[in-house]
């Protein structure tokens, strides 16, 4: 069934004039409303206003314009039911075969500083979602139906198909457009629900920006599927990767894959841990992070990307096997040649030289990703049985001025630098953890133990196995030391400085132990549990 009449009513007018011009060239009659009709008419197109079409003017400040049987009858009449077609013919209702609608900018409105409750409510579209849902419901079958277009990005493909197929749209195309349309209205309603259920209903004032709580009473989430994955964390589990509708700059979900096998569930999870740890450091200083099973196993600074990698690799050569490697600098030939000698699953960097990519091309299975640098601030979600935990992102940053010296000996500038480096790594190590570091290099990392003293011992053993002396190093603990035994292990290992949050009921005992062994200790007042 040919497209004979189209209704266009869009908030986002990008591309709509040219789209309408092409429809008119195909012989499609144009029906429109308000600002859209004016834009089309100003472009010299022959367009009928909905008010003239229905015999009723737009009214109530535009709140009522398309809510009319002559509009919805033309959209909702089933093309494969003779009685429907006879009914609209009897009432002189022409078919509307193509509906081009996107909605009032509610999300953009409430994102503006000082948006009042009245402004937010006024930007809730009524007629638009009704038309979108009506057209999507009646997308039809092989006998014909309505095409619903909600995204300007689809205009060109729609024109191509109409041109190639005698001004008709296939059932498959109409079905795909309907799916997009229902998603469009669902996400629109979700945005409204999330915003309104975060408004404090006890303090309503239409003329002012409403008082809002941090977490809405009813939480609606929306993600787009990027791909199905071969399997989940284990081969007997199925999995898929979904991306936020608006990926923050610097988030791993904004990656571009340049070569290699399809990313796995574990690749993506570990890549996120690697990239977030890397971004804890100043991008002006070349740095490399190697992660295995979501834990850093080597982190280092260097004069170049190559040197940073070679130093990071020394922390735990065995654990680095099959890991994820991230750089905060462009990967050049020297760095690529160094990394090519190791088996890695994924390499991530903001950029690569062509020569470096040529070296990696020989390793067909190696996944090469680019991702922009940038700190992100987003909600953090964790699924639990029958529920969802939501929290703000752990973006606390500690500067030297934030440190509280609690021991008789204050740390030197070198010790402070080493402590802050170790602290930034510890933030991304599974709790309980201890990190030894010196001169911009992790010497030993103990992760995920139920007793912190065990993490201190494990990190010491790893450093000794790697041949990295701990004498004069700094140590970091992402949470407080509950007993002095952990500090005693650090002292025996050779650490001369410790950074930790503080806050234990035995802080005095731990401070006394540090003083006994001439360790400079500072409290941050911030912890970084990571489970």
End-to-end CA separation in angstroms for the chain: 58
State CA 251 to chain mean position distance. 6
Burial of 44 (0-12, 13-18, 19+ CB in 10 A): exposed
Nearest to 325 by CA among 342, 311, 344, 307: 344
Burial of 34 (0-12, 13-18, 19+ CB in 10 A): middle
Which residues are registered as beta bridge partners of 500? 523
Token match 């934030």: residue?
402
Whole-angstrom Cα distance, residue 271 to residue 56? 58
Does 13 sit behind a cis peptide bond, omega within 30 degrees of 0 on the bond before it? Answer: no
Q: Are 368 and 259 in contact (CB under 8 A)?
A: yes
**Catalytic annotation on 137?**
yes
Whole-angstrom Cα distance, residue 132 to residue 139? 11
**Per-residue 3-state assignment (H helix, E strand, C coil) for 128-174:** HHHHHHHHHHCCCECCECCEEECCHHHHHHHHHHHHHCCCCCCHHHH
Q: Are 158 and 135 in contact (CB under 8 A)?
A: no
Whole-angstrom Cα distance, residue 334 to residue 341? 12
Of the residues 171, 180, 261, 293, which is catalytic? 293
Alpha helices, DSSP H, located in 292-449: 305-315, 317-320, 333-340, 354-360, 413-426
Pairing of strands 287-292, 295-301: antiparallel
CA angle 401, 474, 452 (to 5 degrees): 105
Whole-angstrom Cα distance, residue 489 to residue 457? 7
Nearest to 434 by CA among 478, 403, 378: 478
Of the residues 137, 171, 180, 261, which is catalytic? 137
- The catalytic residue positions are 137, 293
């Amino acid at each position: 069934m040919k497209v004979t009449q189209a209704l266009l009513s869009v908030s986002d007018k990008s591309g709509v004039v040219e789209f309408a011009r092409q429809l008119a060239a195909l012989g499609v009659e144009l029906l429109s409303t308000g600002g859209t009709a004016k834009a089309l008419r100003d472009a010299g197109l022959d367009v009928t206003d909905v008010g003239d079409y229905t015999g009723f003017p737009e009214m109530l400040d535009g709140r009522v314009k398309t809510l009319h049987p002559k509009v919805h009858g033309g959209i909702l009449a089933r093309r494969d039911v003779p009685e429907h077609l006879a009914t609209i013919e009897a009432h002189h209702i022409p078919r509307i075969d193509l509906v081009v609608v996107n909605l009032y900018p509610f999300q953009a409105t409430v994102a503006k500083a000082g948006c009042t409750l009245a402004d937010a409510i006024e930007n809730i579209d009524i007629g638009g979602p009704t038309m979108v849902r009506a057209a999507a419901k009646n997308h039809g079958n092989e006998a014909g139906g309505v095409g619903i277009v909600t995204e300007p990005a689809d205009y060109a493909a729609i024109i191509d198909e109409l041109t190639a197929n005698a001004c008709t749209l296939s059932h498959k195309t109409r079905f795909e457009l309907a799916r997009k349309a229902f998603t469009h209205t669902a996400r629109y309603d979700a945005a409204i629900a999330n915003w309104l259920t975060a408004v404090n209903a006890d303090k309503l004032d239409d003329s002012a920006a409403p008082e809002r709580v941090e977490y809405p009473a009813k939480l609606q989430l929306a993600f787009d599927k990027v791909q199905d994955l071969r399997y989940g964390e284990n081969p007997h589990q199925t999995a898929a990767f979904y991306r936020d509708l608006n990926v923050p700059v610097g988030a791993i979900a904004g990656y571009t894959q340049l070569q290699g096998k399809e990313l796995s569930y574990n690749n993506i999870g570990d890549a996120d841990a690697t990239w977030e740890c890397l971004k804890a450091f100043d991008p002006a200083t070349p740095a490399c992070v190697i992660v295995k099973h979501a834990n850093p196993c080597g982190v280092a600074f260097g004069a170049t990307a190559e040197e940073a990698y070679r130093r990071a690799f020394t922390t735990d050569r065995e654990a680095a096997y099959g890991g994820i490697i991230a750089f905060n600098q462009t990967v050049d030939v020297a760095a690529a040649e160094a990394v090519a000698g190791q088996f890695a699953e994924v390499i991530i960097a903001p950029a690569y030289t062509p020569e470096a990519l040529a070296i990696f091309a020989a390793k067909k299975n190696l996944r090469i990703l680019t991702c922009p640098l940038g700190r992100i601030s987003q909600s953090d979600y964790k699924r639990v049985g029958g529920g969802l935990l939501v929290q703000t992102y752990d973006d606390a940053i500690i500067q030297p001025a934030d440190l509280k010296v609690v021991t008789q000996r204050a740390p030197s500038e070198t010790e402070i630098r080493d402590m802050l480096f170790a602290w930034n790594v510890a933030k991304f190590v599974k709790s309980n953890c201890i990190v030894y570091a010196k001169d911009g290099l992790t010497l030993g990392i103990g992760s995920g133990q139920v007793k912190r003293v065990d993490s201190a011992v494990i990190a010491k053993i790893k450093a000794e196995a790697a041949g990295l002396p701990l004498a004069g190093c700094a140590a970091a603990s992402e949470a407080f030391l509950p007993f002095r035994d952990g500090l005693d292990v650090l002292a025996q290992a050779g650490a001369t400085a410790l950074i930790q949050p503080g806050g234990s009921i035995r802080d005095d005992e731990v401070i006394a132990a540090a003083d006994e062994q001439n360790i400079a200790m500072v409290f941050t007042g911030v912890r970084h549990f990571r489970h």
